[in-house]
Structure formats: C-alpha cells, structure tokens
Amino acid sequence: MQHISRQGVHDNVMGVYDVLQDEEYLLMFMPYCSSGDLFSFVQQAGRFPEPMARYWFKQILE
C-alpha cells in the first residue's frame, strides 16, 4: 500500500498520508472528506439518472 501511495497524485483518488499495520489491522491515514464518500452518496440518492451515472462511471475509470 505504501508503494501505491507513492506512485503519484490523481484528481479522483484521495491521498494517503501514512500507512501502518499491526497483527490485526491495516491503518490508512487519509484527508478528511467533509462531503462523504461515493458509497454513502449512492445509498442516500438511490438510483442515479443515466447522465449522473455516466459522469460518476467516467470519474471512476479515469
């Protein structure tokens, strides 16, 4: 994971400040996103209209 976080920056991917691991957990320290995440947005909005679904799909693929 640390190798991936050093690969560079992309507009559609949250940065990772640090990664720690112990016997039980992998901890990723990332910036706080006050708008929430895409999963929560989908849960709240329900089914997307096709233009909005296309927009998000394109963002994910880039």
Q: Walk along the chain (62 residues) and give the pLDDT tens digit of each residue.
A: 555 555 556 676 777 888 899 999 999 898 888 888 888 888 888 888 999 889 988 888 87
Strand-strand pairing, 26-29 and 18-21: antiparallel
Cα(39)–Cα(20) distance, integer angstroms = 24
- With vertex at residue 36, the alpha carbon angle to CA 27 and CA 40, rounded to the nearest 5 degrees, is 95
Specify the pLDDT at position 36: 83
Cα(32)–Cα(8) distance, integer angstroms = 19
